[in-house]
Amino acid sequence: MIADMMISGPEDLFKVIPFARFLDLRLELAGNELTTHMPFSPHLIGNPMLPALHGGSLGAFLELTATAQLSVFENFDHIPKPVDVNIQYLRPGKPIDTYARARINRVGRTIANVEVWAWQEMREQPIATLQAHFLIG
């Protein structure tokens, strides 16, 4: 949990990050399992002909999901900063809602390694994945 912010619970994290509000990101916690949700909106489109979501809207969603996972399950006094991210685009993002889940692979003294999967209709068919390192120290 991020100590110095006016958040009463993990659900509030996306409310204090302006760009998460811009993307209208939602966060659901079932026990210790976190699922994030990016509702479809026309301004997320990158290819108006298909149409398909912009790689950048998916990238931001994946990265903020990793941030949320770290903030919810570890104790930090600030929002973790990404050092590097690696995104694989597996399928075109359809103009529908997108969901994501993250897994923390390792939390060291200064760096955390996080992995994220995003899907739309079927969780077994991810549309994009992300691996990232965050600075936490």
Task: Point out which residues bind another protein (CB under 8 A).
Answer: 4-5, 16-22, 42-49, 53-57, 59-61, 63-64, 78-79, 81-89, 92
Contacts of residue 63, defined as CB under 8 A and 6 or more positions apart, other chains included, come to 82, 85, 116, 130, 132
* Cβ 31 to another protein shortest distance, Å: 27
For another protein, the closer CB: 30 or 40: 40
Handedness of CA 38, 28, 90, 86 (dihedral sign): positive
* Cβ 89 to another protein shortest distance, Å: 5
* Cβ 57 to another protein shortest distance, Å: 5
Q: How far apart are CA 74 and CA 52, in angstroms?
A: 34
Per the CB < 8 A criterion, the answer to whether 64 and 14 are in contact is: yes
For another protein, the closer CB: 4 or 124: 4
